[in-house]
């Protein structure tokens, strides 16, 4: 990906006025045609609220993390659930990503649409319908690779039952699924809680004709606190367990792959977990090659809230200035709808348009009605509440002369991009001057 365009891909759907943020009087367009329309974010060409991606920041972020993992000798499998956008997947793959991570089998379609052939399902697949769907995808796309996670014998038994039924009259369906053992944390989500438990499961997997073990997965992202005294020991413990399990599985001949996948990584502690994905070292190194895969997702757009706070600590650990680190690439623009009392401004964007699960949006820019040049908002301004379709912006003690007026536009930075992307079926991509130069679609 570069600063001039997203990669062109065969998947080029039509978008129209049924898509939120699309001009109501415009004809339907292919995604690839949007950048030719001469539209401007602040030119009254598109209705607000409007989620907009910054082209330069996208390119910077995509290259930044790819450079980091390459330096560590790892591969990158960005978590696609953040954006579920074939156009952004294509950009990540073009920058050098090994493949794309998903959390549900149905999300694989977006990876295939992007031209991707390697998928990591960072979740347990337990529903018979999903297992049949995955088997069908692997049959229809012979080059597709899509290992998923296992953490219980009961799950293996479900897979075996589905495989046994599917194999009747369809011998090709008997090909085993690739799986990764998941190592979890007490009180967390999924994953085996002890090395001994995981090793016992690995033995059961090795004995099954329905699955074959190709690696180990873990996840530290939910636990990031920004406090090194807590984060480092947590990551170190996961690393010890993952490496111990890998050594034990190899010693017993439980892996059924030429190379062993070791994978982890959210978008908060990626710098701490990354070195461990190369596998045990020295006398404890595995005999097989190790493919280390980092699967951060939110990095592609970063944010102005939750991840900005956590990645600030990663920047410090990496010796990277904030200016050179990840940059917020997603802004939701809203219109001032009302100024019902002094110091209170009501915007026309709310929970249906913006993330709110990891913090409220942050006012960043303002553009007066009829103008096209935005300016930074006063630091005192604060979004204090969201309704379904409205944001409550308090001005506090800021200069009254700067107060927004009805019809002005406010650019909001978001916290946690995943839960903004899932509220939009498309997003325009703008250059540094606000010109719409491209677009992406999502599959939510």
Tell me whether residue 2 is in a domain: no
Tell me whether residue 421 is in a domain: yes
173 and 302 share a domain?
yes
Tell me whether residue 305 is in a domain: yes
262 and 404 share a domain?
no
pLDDT for the residue 2: 40
Longest pairwise C-alpha distance within the chain: 76
41 and 128 share a domain?
no
Give the burial string for 57-92 (b: 16+ CB within 10 Å, else e).
Answer: bbbbbbebbbebbeebebbbbbbbbbbbbbbbbbbb
CATH code, domain with 427: 2.40.37.20
160 and 299 share a domain?
yes
Q: Is the dihedral of CA 397, 400, 402, 403 positive or negative?
A: positive
Question: How many other CB atoms sit within 10 Å of the CB of residue 217?
Answer: 30
252 and 131 share a domain?
yes
Using the 3D structure, point to which of 291, 319, 347 is the last residue of a domain.
319
Tell me whether residue 1 is in a domain: no
Using the 3D structure, point to which of 269, 302, 319 is the last residue of a domain.
319
Q: Which tokens hold the place of 233?
A: 């020991």
CA distance from start to end of the chain? 23
pLDDT for the residue 170: 62
161 and 34 share a domain?
no
CATH code, domain with 311: 3.20.20.10
21 and 99 share a domain?
no
Tell me whether residue 333 is in a domain: yes
Tell me whether residue 407 is in a domain: yes
pTM of the predicted structure, to 2 decimals: 0.95
pLDDT for the residue 93: 98
Rounded to whole angstroms, the Cα distance separating 122 from 217 reads 8
Using the 3D structure, point to which of 262, 297, 319 is the last residue of a domain.
319
How many structural domains is the chain composed of? 2
Rounded to whole angstroms, the Cα distance separating 277 from 73 reads 9
Tell me whether residue 3 is in a domain: no
pLDDT for the residue 1: 37
150 and 263 share a domain?
yes
159 and 24 share a domain?
no
Give the burial string for 238-250 (b: 16+ CB within 10 Å, else e).
Answer: bbebbbbbbbebb
339 and 265 share a domain?
no
63 and 191 share a domain?
yes
Query: Which three-class secondary structure state does DSSP give residue 351?
Result: coil
Tell me whether residue 263 is in a domain: yes
23 and 145 share a domain?
no
Q: Per-residue pLDDT tens, the chain, 444 aa: give them.
A: 344 579 888 899 999 999 999 999 999 999 999 999 999 999 999 999 999 999 999 999 999 999 999 999 999 999 999 999 999 999 999 999 999 999 999 999 999 999 999 999 999 999 999 999 999 999 999 999 999 999 999 999 999 999 988 765 566 666 899 999 999 988 889 999 999 999 999 999 999 999 999 999 999 877 788 888 988 998 999 999 999 999 999 999 999 999 999 999 877 888 899 888 999 999 999 999 999 999 999 999 999 999 999 999 999 999 999 899 999 999 999 999 999 999 999 999 999 999 999 999 999 999 999 999 999 999 999 999 999 999 999 999 878 889 999 999 999 999 999 999 999 999 999 999 999 999 999 999
Question: How many other CB atoms sit within 10 Å of the CB of residue 114?
Answer: 24
**Domain region containing 415:** 14-54+325-441
Distance set, CA 261 to CA 101, 154, 189, 288, 377 (Å): 13, 23, 21, 10, 46
């Amino acid at each position: 990906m570069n600063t001039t365009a997203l990669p062109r891909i065969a998947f080029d759907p039509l978008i129209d006025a049924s898509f939120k943020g699309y001009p109501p009087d415009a004809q339907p367009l292919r995604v690839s045609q949007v950048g030719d329309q001469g539209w401007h974010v602040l030119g009254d060409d598109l209705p607000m609220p409007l989620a907009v991606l910054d082209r330069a920041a996208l390119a910077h972020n995509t290259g930044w993390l790819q450079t980091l993992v390459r330096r560590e000798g790892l591969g990158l499998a960005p978590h696609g659930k953040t954006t579920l956008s074939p156009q952004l997947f294509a950009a990540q793959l073009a920058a050098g990503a090994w493949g794309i991570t998903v959390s549900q089998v149905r999300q694989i379609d977006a990876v295939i649409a992007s031209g991707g052939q390697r998928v990591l399902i960072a979740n347990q697949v337990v529903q018979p319908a999903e297992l049949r769907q995955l088997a069908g995808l692997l049959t229809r796309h012979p080059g597709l690779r899509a290992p998923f996670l296992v953490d219980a014998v009961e799950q293996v038994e479900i897979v075996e039952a589905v495989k046994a039924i599917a194999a009747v009259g369809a011998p090709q369906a008997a090909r085993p699924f690739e799986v990764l053992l998941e190592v979890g944390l007490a009180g967390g989500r999924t994953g085996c809680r002890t090395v001994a438990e995981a090793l016992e499961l690995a033995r059961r997997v090795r004995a099954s004709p329905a699955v074959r073990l190709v690696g180990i997965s873990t996840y530290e992202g939910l636990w990031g606190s920004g406090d090194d005294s807590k984060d480092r020991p947590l990551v170190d413990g996961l690393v010890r367990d993952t490496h111990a399990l890998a050594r034990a599985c190899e010693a017993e001949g439980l892996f059924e792959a030429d190379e062993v996948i070791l994978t982890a990584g959210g978008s908060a502690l990626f710098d701490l977990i990354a070195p461990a994905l190369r596998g045990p070292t020295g006398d404890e190194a595995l005999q097989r090659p190790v493919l280390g895969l980092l699967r951060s997702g939110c990095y592609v757009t970063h944010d102005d809230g939750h991840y900005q706070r956590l990645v600030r600590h990663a920047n410090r650990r990496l010796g990277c200035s904030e200016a050179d680190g990840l940059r917020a690439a997603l802004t939701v623009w809203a219109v001032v709808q009302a100024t019902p009392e002094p110091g209170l401004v009501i915007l026309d964007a709310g929970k249906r348009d913006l993330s709110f699960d990891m913090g409220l949006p942050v006012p960043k820019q303002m553009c007066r009605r009829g103008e096209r040049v935005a300016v930074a908002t006063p630091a005192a301004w604060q979004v204090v509440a969201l309704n379904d379709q409205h944001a409550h912006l308090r001005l506090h003690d800021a200069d009254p002369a700067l107060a927004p007026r009805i019809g002005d536009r406010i650019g909001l930075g978001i916290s946690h991009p995943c839960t903004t992307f899932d509220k939009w079926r498309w997003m325009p991509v703008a250059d540094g001057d606000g010109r719409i130069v491209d677009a992406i679609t999502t599959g939510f």
